[in-house]
């Protein structure tokens, strides 16, 4: 209402606003952050459980030797290197460069495939089984948790890659690629903590 008797209504015209946006402006970024918060909490609590159990043991690892360093360390290198194509792909997506996104996604997938193959050997070199002791159980739990996240993100990336080749495409799909890259950062970022716990902690005297 302005003056008495002549009500006027005010309107906010939003017709010129973009129909999608990147980064923390988009809902998808916030949704991804929600998942990252949840999953970080899962990892953190699992790591706390590891040290809780270690604190209550006389020998760590009990009746066994620590996991072989080779494969886990190799995988750490692969994972860190994968951030390069991952970041490049995100950059291509943010600039809506379809050709770049396609190349980037395929390269990312090659890195992920290499990682999964080495992960297979990692499980073989853990030097413990999930059912021999609480130590074995929590080591397998940490490795399985990380692998599940890895595999989930790989499946997600495969679907996105196929979509980017076949369509139907819209501008907002580039936001999906961009957020997928953000999630990969989480998969990479969570690994050093698990690596340190699984591979280094048993090598240090409690």
Partner 1 sequence: MNTAADLAELEKRWADPPGFLGWMKTVDHKRIARRYFVTALVFFALAGLMAALMRLQLARPENTLVGPDLYNQLFSMHGTVMMFLFAVPILQAVGVFLVPLMIGSRNIAFGRLSSFSYWIFLFGGIMIFTAFFLNVGPEAGWFSYVPLSGPQFSPGKRTDFWAQLVTFTELASLIVAVQIVVTAFKLRAPGMSLNRIPLLVWAEVVTSFMVIFAMPSVMLGSSFLISDRLVSTQFFNPAEGGDALLWQHLFWFFGHPEVYIIFVPALGIISEIVSTFASRPAFGYLALVLALVVTGFLAFGLWVHHMFATGLPPLGMSFFTAASILIAIPTGLQISCWIATLATGGRLRLATPLLFVVGFFFIFVIGGLTGLMLASVSLDSQLHDSYFVVAHLHYVLIGGALFPLFGGFYYWFPKLTGRLLSERAGKWNFWLFFTGFNVAFFPMHILGLKGMTRRVYTYGADRGWGDLNLLATIGAVTIAASMIVFAINVVVSLRRGQRAGENPWGGTTLEWATSSPPPSYGFAQIPCVDSRQPLKHGKEALAWVVGLPTLVRTSLVTRLHDAAPDHITVDPEPSIWPFWTAVAVSALFIGSIFTPWALVWGAIPVTVALIGWFWPKHEETERTNRIEVKPDESRPARFLESAS
Q: Which residues bind partner 1 (CB under 8 A)?
A: 1, 6-22, 25-27, 30-31, 34-35, 37-39, 41-42, 45-46, 49, 52-53, 56-57, 62, 96, 130-138, 140-141, 155, 159, 163, 167-173
3-class DSSP assignment, residue 165: helix
Residue number, 73 or 132, with CB nearest to partner 1? 132
Q: Which is nearer to partner 1, 13 or 205 (CB)?
A: 13
Nearer to partner 1 by C-beta: 12 or 204? 12
Contact indicator for 202, 67 with CB cutoff of 8 Å:
yes
Minimum gap (Å) between residue 7 Cβ and partner 1:
6
Alpha-carbon distance of 177 to 58, in angstroms, equals: 48
How large is the angle between the packed helices 27-55 and 171-195, nearest 10 degrees?
10
> What is the nearest approach in angstroms of partner 1 to the Cβ of residue 133?
5
Sign of CA dihedral 68, 198, 123, 82: negative
Could you give the CA distance from residue 63 to residue 69 in angstroms, rounded to a whole number? 18
Closest distance to partner 1 from the beta carbon of 121 (Å):
19
Cβ distance to partner 1 smaller for residue 118 or 139 = 139
Spatial contact of 61 and 135, defined as CB atoms under 8 Å apart = yes
Whole-angstrom Cα distance, residue 145 to residue 72?
15
Minimum separation from the CB atom of position 54 to partner 1 (A): 9
Looking at beta carbons only, is 107 or 163 nearer to partner 1? 163
């Amino acid at each position: 209402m302005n003056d008495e008797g002549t009500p006027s209504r005010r309107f906010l015209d939003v017709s010129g606003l973009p129909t999608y946006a990147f980064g923390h402006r988009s809902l998808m970024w916030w949704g991804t952050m929600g998942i990252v918060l949840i999953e970080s909490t899962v990892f953190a609590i699992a790591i706390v459980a590891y040290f809780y159990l270690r604190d209550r043991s006389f020998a760590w690892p009990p009746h066994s030797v620590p996991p072989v360093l080779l494969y886990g360390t190799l995988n750490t290198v692969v994972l860190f290197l994968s951030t390069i194509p991952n970041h490049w792909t995100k950059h291509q997506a943010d600039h809506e460069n379809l050709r770049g996104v396609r190349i980037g996604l395929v390269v990312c997938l090659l890195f992920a495939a290499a990682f999964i193959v080495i992960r297979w050997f990692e499980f073989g070199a853990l030097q413990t089984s999930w059912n021999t002791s609480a130590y074995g159980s929590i080591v397998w739990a940490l490795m399985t948790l990380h692998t599940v996240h890895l595999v989930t993100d790989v499946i997600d990336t495969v679907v996105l890659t196929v979509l980017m080749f076949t369509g139907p495409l819209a501008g907002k799909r580039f936001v999906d690629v961009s957020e997928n890259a953000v999630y990969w950062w989480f998969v990479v970022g969570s690994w050093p903590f698990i690596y340190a716990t699984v591979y280094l902690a048993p090598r240090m005297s409690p």
